[in-house]
Homo-oligomer: A and B are copies of this chain.
Amino acid sequence: MTTPAGDRAPERLRTTPSWLLTRLADHAAHLAREAFTAAGAGRYHYALLVTLVEGGPASQATLGRRCGIDRSDVVAALNELVARGHVERRPDPADRRRNVVTVTPAGREQTERTGKALDEVQERLLAPLDAADRRHLTDLLTRLLRHHAPGRL
């Protein structure tokens, strides 16, 4: 056999950044998903909680805009967060279209716990990179994202 492990991806794919990106992101998402479900949450739940903890109470639309989640998906995720007692949702007295969403102490606890699990995931994900390379990678990704999603980053 010319190739003992004959299952390598072709050069044309291996050198295409968007292919590398989507492949790696898929792997990262898989790792993150493990951590999330182990912590009893989902991506959306964590993103929303973090946004609330960091930015304080907000309306659902604002939350969605801040973490890039569709309004309808925000509804579903918040329903679950409310059911678990991690956030509270009440009508905004100042604008009766809106709901004001607030984190509960249990929600902060959950956020911190999930955050730690997620940190371990980053460690595993970036294992082969030293500190400088990690910073460089984050910098490159940030610059690209900033270019393609101006205003949100």
Contacts and interface: CB of A to CB of B under 8 A. Distances in A.
Q: How many copies does the complex hold?
A: 2
Interface in A3-20: 3, 5-18, 20
B125 A144 contact: yes
Contacts of A15: 138
A131 interface: no
Contact of A6 (B11, B16, B26, B62): B62
B66 A10 contact: yes
Interface string A3-42: 1011111111111111011111111110110000000000
Interface of A: 2-3, 5-18, 20-29, 31-32, 47, 50-51, 53-56, 62, 65-68, 115, 118, 121-122, 125-129, 133-134, 136-138, 140-149, 151-153
